[in-house]
Amino acid sequence: MVQTTESNNVDGILQTALWNVQQTAGRLGLNPDITRRIVEPAEQIRSVIHPQVPNGEMLHAHVFLVRHNDVLGPSKGGIRMTAGVTLNEVTGLAMEMTWKTSLIGVPFGGGKAGIRYDPALLKPTEKEILIRAFTRGVRRHIGPEVYVPAPDMGTNDSDMGHIRDCVSYSDGKSIPAGCFVTGKPVVLGGIVGRREATGNGVAATIVAACERLNKKLPGLRVAVQGFGNVGSVSALAIAEKGATVVAASDITGGTYCAEGLDVVKLADHVAKTGGIKGFAGGKEITNAQVLEADCDVLIPAAGGSVITEENAPRIRAKIIAEGANAPLTPQADEILNAKGVFIIPDILCNAGGVFVSYLEYTQETQRDQMTRDEVQQRLYHRMTTTFDRVYERTQQKHQPMRHSAMDLAVTRVVDGIQSRGLLP
Ligand code: GLU
């Protein structure tokens, strides 16, 4: 079996990342040498793995690993496993990670990995074999001081557990020497609250935005596109704070209820049946209708480039919280900015995941144990103080939140380069 399908959005994410950084370099007046230094990825790995599975068949998968930048620390970012992931997509996502880690203030650079295979086609043992083959294949590029992977689309905590085991197993030791991977099961040195961290962080930025924009949470109508780890947790967290989730979708379908969906029941339905399709508590609608739903807040929490110049004019939300990475194309961004939509950019909105990955990294390095309350408190504090810094610049410069977030993130990386010195 070989997976070769290309997805439509692969180049879009890299284009969006390049557009954002070039615009920022212009705004900050960076010189061309420094601009080149922060744009070009430090290292791009492209490889193929061919593990054999129990039925005797071989799986053939293209794999990618990009370390975009390590000025502020080891490259950090998740492993995306989809049928269409490409080196370009991984490069764009690695670049976004450089800005995300910088903005949220953790001592990491940016990286990302990709395994081109549709995880839905794999039995659990086959997926484990693929993850172990990936780990062995790129082993020399993974390490606490090099690149530290985590879950991303198509991968989860069990996969991270296999990576950790693969590393310690090959060293003949019970545990690896340091933190090689984050987002692991808690029983294997993971941290409580990591799985929910991205979604909880998204909700924290929406609460902060509502405070600044004088919008009340009770009665706030929210639509969520994507009901995986990020979308479902964001929906549950924001509903718990009093908002009304009116629409939600995933790859199986969409659901709508003007009076508000019972998000707990919806999450139960998804856990039991594997998707939103067939949920009795709402009217069936399409994914496109969820994006264009009549709501106050839209959370795109699935793939990249889902809002383009084509559908942007029809978006009705007043706030967009980017739970996914690069869900808006630059053209869509411009259209929505012109309409006065308040956009909480991805590098701020979904940075809660990598922030709690940092807590996991320090916990494992120090052989410490943090409680759920500690993790929650630190996450909430970091998300809101970072939101405030970005908002303050937005007010001062009269520019969109994305520009302010990028200005702050890129400035910190450039400061890092200058503090290290430019000599080899
Ligand atoms: N994949 C997540 C992201 O895009 C988390 C990365 C991490 O924790 O390293 O931010």
Residue type, position 228, single letter = G
Residue type, position 195, single letter = R
Q: Give pLDDT tens digits for 84-136.
A: 999 999 999 999 999 999 999 999 999 999 999 999 999 999 999 999 999 99
Distance 100 CA to ligand 1 centre (A): 9
Paired with 422 in beta bridges are none
Predicted model pTM: 0.95
Paired with 111 in beta bridges are 67
Looking at domain 196-344, which CATH architecture does it have? 3-Layer(aba) Sandwich (3.40)
Q: Report whether CATH 3.40.50.970 matches the domain 12-178.
A: no
182: closest CA among 109, 107, 78? 78
Contact in structure between 247 and 293 (CB atoms under 8 Å):
yes
Locate the ligand 1 atom nearest the alpha carbon of residue 350 and give its number. Answer: 10
The pLDDT of residue 4: 40
pLDDT of 3 over the 60 cut: no
Domain ranges of the chain: 12-178, 196-344
Mean pLDDT of 202-209: 98
Distance 78 CA to ligand 1 centre (A): 5
The pLDDT of residue 267: 97
**Secondary structure class of 315 (helix, strand, coil):** coil
Contact in structure between 254 and 284 (CB atoms under 8 Å):
yes
Mean pLDDT of 255-284: 97
Long-range contacts (CB closer than 8 Å, 24 or more residues apart) made by 51-59: 51/129, 51/130, 51/132, 51/133, 52/129, 53/125, 53/126, 53/129, 54/125, 54/126, 57/1, 58/1, 59/1, 59/2, 59/117, 59/126, 59/129, 59/130, 59/133
Where does the pLDDT of residue 424 fall: very low under 50, low under 70, confident under 90, or very high at 90 and above? confident
* H-run or E-run covering 216: none
Catalytic, 112? Answer yes
Q: Fold match between 12-178 and 196-344?
A: yes
Distance 214 CA to ligand 1 centre (A): 31
CB of residue 304 inside a 6 A radius of ligand 1 = no
Kindly give the residue spans of alpha helices, DSSP state H, lying in 213-278. 229-240, 263-273
Which residue of the set 76, 100, 112, 318 is catalytic? 112
Locate the ligand 1 atom nearest the alpha carbon of residue 149 and give its number. Answer: 9
Contact in structure between 352 and 42 (CB atoms under 8 Å):
no
Locate the ligand 1 atom nearest the alpha carbon of residue 194 and give its number. Answer: 8
Where does the pLDDT of residue 171 fall: very low under 50, low under 70, confident under 90, or very high at 90 and above? confident
147: closest CA among 201, 204, 101, 191? 101
The pLDDT of residue 170: 83
